[in-house]
Structure 1
């Protein structure tokens, strides 16, 4: 099936989801239709340039959005720099020296401000940038409602508590996603976002040297760039096609080539094995489930109405 057909089916699926009670009623696909009609095209072009400059940026923005939504909802809090009154999320253990793309969101915000000043939140720009990055990498689109507002604070402790670790087992992953109202299917589909991007050696060293549920040739290949000691920031791709959004990530899991412990836990004799197998065989099913899960995740506890603010600069609260 062609990507155009996959795109069509995904849009139909996501449109049906929009009518469900799980979507926050105060968010709307047409929220900026009158106040900022050039929003989507502006962000799409900005992301195109960012990815053209660095192909890894699609993965970085997708991860940035995930890490934002999982900590007190999709409120742009991860974009806030530390201040004298709070310690933000960027230096939490799951984010420090790894979360990136804030400069791209700042650039997108500046471009959006030129076409509609003081109108679009950083949280909405981040949500839109994540979608456009996936599409530009060959992945699906989904119906994206708008109307999120930006938080005025952030919490490092909440980020440390809520964000899944690369060492998590399957039960922990299912539990952490369930706390956010996301099912095990959502969790597995969203993990497929690892079809894009890379990870640091420090996150997978224990797996490639100590674990047994790993393809030996794959472990040897990864050890070449991730020594037993040192090289913590050396990078390796999740699935070998790190700049293309496809279902190769799940094929890797079936072959015991998951990079992180938490990746391989999805296919390790547990409850998600059949779903992983299905995704490995059908990009259409993966794309549909991923899009559905992104809609749900994008609507985690948004600030709407008069709550929060529209930040003028994404890294700081309005004075």
Structure 2
């Protein structure tokens, strides 16, 4: 199960399946997509999949995060990226990006299964357009745009649907609740920068407008007006060119940014989430230091107290240290 096969062998297998079944390539890939969800659920991932999102859209929006998690185990995984937009007519626009050309037919099979099995909905999916897009240094990604229409399921699902009526009702209650927001923020920028010491806000031209306090301290750089994000940090994940178009395309991914300037011979690596703020045309990057051990903490001349109390990075470092100590004792 953990063995990796290159695409050449995969396509040889698909070609053989086409010859034996007499079905065209597109149909074989779509049928594969229809069985993929059941395969994953039958092999230990059912609970993870059922808790990924409270509704279909949330599920799709979090697929990139799931893939990033799985890449720690499946290190050679070359996974696609998904982005979902809600249209005025209630349909969804689904963006699919992949460096593996021609596999998008799998999406046509797996999306209806996700809707039916996990959310008791019927999904009709059609291909709107397909193009090759330059994402990184001339490397072309397959960019396919689908339209997804969701409707109430007739109750017949092709894979066991273990979601009971009480769970469905709870989900309905969550969906019906609409949060309220103040007309204006009551927190000063100074407090925001201290509470979220590893955040950045920048405009469409990558000019930094606001920066967390610890980033400035660690880089020994005051963020003056007009400071350029791309002169201070390199985008190391996703592996795409550092452009606003790419940030928007992979907005559901976890981002890694590495400082150009080094501290004690080590770069500051930040891991976090990008969020576009359309009302002011700015992007906010909420992050944490990408550190998992006391050794890495010391190398950066950092202390645990430099990491906010709410940040799970603290627990990760201490848990890893405890595990290492237990191994030494054993």
Pairwise same-fold verdict (TM > 0.5): no
Task: Name the structure where strand makes up a greater proportion of residues.
Answer: 2
Greater RCO (Cα-Cα under 8 Å, separation 6 or more): 1
Q: TM-score range by the shorter chain?
A: under 0.3
Task: Name the structure where helix makes up a greater proportion of residues.
Answer: 1
